Amino acid sequence: MMKRSLQLVPALGFAIAAMTFGGCNKAEDKPKTVEAKPATPAASAPAPAPVAAEPIKIGVIGPYTGGSSPMGLSMRDGVRLAAKEINANGGVLGKKIELIERDDQATNERGAQVTQELIASQKVSAILGFINTGVAKASVRYPVEGKIPTIINVATGIIVNEYFKDAEGKPQENYLFSMSANDTIQSDLIVSEFVDKKGYKKIAILADDTNYGQSGREFVENELKKRDITAVYVGKFKIKDTDMTPQLQEAKAAGAEALIVFGIGPENAQIANGRAKLGWMVPMIGSWTMSMSNFIDNATVNGEGVMMPQSFIQDSAKTDRQKKFVAEYLKEFKPQDDRIPVAVAAAQGYDSMYVMAGAIKEAGSTDGTKVRDALCDLKNPYSGVVMTYNKPFSATNHIALRKADVGLGMVKAGRVAPANP
User: Does residue 338 share a domain with residue 275?
Assistant: no
pLDDT above 60: residue 337 = yes
* pLDDT band at 357; cut points 50, 70, 90: very high
Q: What is the mean pLDDT of residues 273-302?
A: 97
Mean pLDDT in the chain? 90
If asked whether residues 346 and 402 sit together in one domain, one would say yes
- What residues have CB less than 8 Å from 51, skipping those under 6 apart? none
Per-residue model confidence (pLDDT) at position 420 = 85
Average pLDDT over residues 7-31: 39
How many domains is the chain built from?
A: 2
- Mark whether 187 and 302 lie in a shared domain: yes
Pair 205, 294 in one domain: yes
- Rounded percentage of the chain residues whose pLDDT exceeds 70: 88
Rounded CA-CA distance 297/146 in Å is: 41
Q: Check whether residue 272 and residue 196 sit in a common domain.
A: yes
Residue 24 confidence (pLDDT): 59
294 and 349, same domain (yes or no) = no
2 pLDDT more than 50: no
Q: Does the residue 219 lie in any domain?
A: yes
156 part of a folded domain = yes
Quick one: 74 and 170 in the same domain?
yes
Domain that holds residue 273: 183-310
Give the pLDDT band of residue 33 (cuts 50, 70, 90).
very low
Residue 9 located in a structural domain: no
Q: What is the pLDDT of residue 319?
A: 97
Residue 7 maps to a domain: no
pLDDT digits (tens, 9 = 90+) for 79-121: 999 999 999 999 999 999 999 999 999 999 999 999 999 999 9
pLDDT over threshold 70, residue 72? yes
Q: Both 130 and 188 in a single domain?
A: no
Spatial distance between the Cα atoms of 355 and 186, rounded to a whole number of angstroms: 23
Alpha-carbon distances of 410 from 81, 309, 314, rounded to whole Å: 27, 9, 12
User: What is the tens place of the pLDDT at every residue in 231-263?
Assistant: 999 999 999 999 999 999 999 999 999 999 999
What pLDDT band is residue 41 in, cutting at 50, 70 and 90? very low
Please state, in angstroms and rounded to a whole number, the distance separating the CA atoms of residues 375 and 393.
6
- What whole-number distance in Å separates Cα of residue 238 and Cα of residue 235? 11
Decide if 412 is inside a domain. Answer: no
**Which of the listed residues 260, 293, 310 is the one where a domain comes to its end?**
310
User: In this predicted structure, what is the pLDDT of residue 318?
Assistant: 96
Amino acid found at 284:
M
Which of 281, 310, 339 corresponds to the end of one domain?
A: 310
Q: Are residues 86 and 199 in the same domain?
A: no
Q: Is residue 33 part of a domain?
A: no
250 domain-assigned? yes
CB of 259 within 8 A of CB of 233? no
Residue 47's pLDDT band (cuts 50, 70, 90): low
Q: What is the pLDDT of residues 194-228, one digit of tens each?
A: 999 999 999 999 999 999 999 999 999 999 999 99
Q: Does residue 17 register a pLDDT over 80?
A: no
Residues 65 and 162 reside in one and the same domain: yes
Banded model confidence at residue 53, pLDDT cuts 50, 70, 90: confident
Q: Is 10 exposed, middle or buried, given 0-12, 13-18 or 19+ CB atoms closer than 10 A? A: exposed
- Based on the fold, state whether residues 247 and 199 are members of the same structural domain: yes
The CATH number assigned to the domain holding 326 equals 3.40.50.2300
Domain boundary among 276, 310, 344: 310
Residue 181 pLDDT exceeds 90: yes
Q: What is the pLDDT of residues 118-157, one digit of tens each?
A: 999 999 999 999 999 999 999 999 999 999 999 999 999 9
Residue predicted with more confidence, 33 or 68: 68
Question: Is the residue at 8 inside a domain?
Answer: no
Are 173 and 290 found together in one domain?
no
Confidence of residue 421 (pLDDT cuts 50, 70, 90): confident
Dihedral sign (CA 214, 219, 225, 229):
negative
Residues contacting 33, CB < 8 A, separation 6+: none
